[in-house]
Amino acid sequence: MRKISESTVRRLSLYLRFLEQFDAQGQATISSAELARRGGTTSAQVRKDLSFFGSFGKRGLGYSVPELTARIRDILGLRRTYRVVLVGAGRIGSALIQYPGFRQRGFHVRAIYDTDPKKIGSGWNGLVVKDARQLESDLAREPTDIAIVVTPAEAAQDVVDRLVRAGVKAILNFAPAQLVVPADVVVKSVNMALELETLSFALANR
């Protein structure tokens, strides 16, 4: 398979959302033009994105909605479930864990860790907050694919180092810090304040 760029992966993820909506409405086929319209892109781009999977759209008939849905789920690694742990029992973590989209797509948050004695042991969205010192022993017992890191900036790298040593291969980072990880670990960072700052920059420099 050819290498797929991150921007293609993001578009596939968007197409999947639209396809799921069409599927729920009982629509059997979809044209590249309709996917393009919904995805804010061009038919040519849609056809190019989907050509990564080989040709299975029929000219004039469009793509089969269930077939395309299954193929994109496959390519995005969504045919299985992922065990996810969350480090940092704060508000952003709470919003994330309650977000129905995560579970629907097979991302199951199984444990939550914090260092704050006031939080450890308390109930939290159906889980009990565990002592972050248990991370290593828990992960040794229950191999975990993905960790979500919502710690203060200064704690993030240390937590990530520990997660990586414990075998975690994918990290979603909400701490405002640049993280260093080995080449076989993937990190995605989301920084809300930074997103707002790109907006204020745009407003200030029009």
Residues in touch with its own copies (CB under 8 A) = 1, 4, 6, 9-10, 13-14, 17, 21, 38-41, 75-78, 82, 91-92, 94-96, 98-99, 101-102, 105-107, 145-146, 153-154, 169-172, 176, 178-180, 184, 186, 188, 190-206
Nearest distance from residue 182's CB to its own copies, in Å? 13
Contacts 24+ apart (CB under 8 A), 119-126: 119/89, 124/89, 124/94, 125/94, 125/97, 125/98
H helix intervals, the chain: 6-24, 32-39, 43-51, 65-75, 91-97, 100-104, 135-141, 153-165, 192-204
Shortest distance (Å) from residue 103 CB to its own copies? 10
Instruction: Please say which residue, 103 or 162, places its beta carbon nearer to its own copies.
Output: 103
> 40 in the Ramachandran plot: left (φ > 0), alpha (ψ -120 to 50) or beta?
left
Q: How far is the CB of 16 from its own copies (least distance, A)?
A: 8
Q: Which is nearer to its own copies, 51 or 98 (CB)?
A: 98
Cβ nearer to its own copies, comparing 53 with 131 = 53
Under DSSP, is residue 14 helix (H, G, I), strand (E, B) or coil? helix
Tokens for 142, please give them.
């229950």
CB of 128 to its own copies, least distance (A): 20
Structural tokens at position 111: 């444990």
Among residues 118, 117, 149, the alpha carbon closest in space to that of 133 is found at 117
- Eight-class DSSP state of 188: E
CB 173 within 8 A of CB 149: yes
Q: State the minimum distance, in angstroms, from the CB of residue 47 to its own copies.
A: 17
- Whichever of 126 and 154 has its CB closer to its own copies, that residue is 154
Name the pairing type of β-strands 82-87 and 127-128: unpaired
Q: Which is nearer to its own copies, 33 or 61 (CB)?
A: 33
Q: How far is the CB of 115 from its own copies (least distance, A)?
A: 19
Biggest CA pair distance of the chain: 63
If the CB atoms of residues 9 and 61 are measured against its own copies, the closer one turns out to be 9
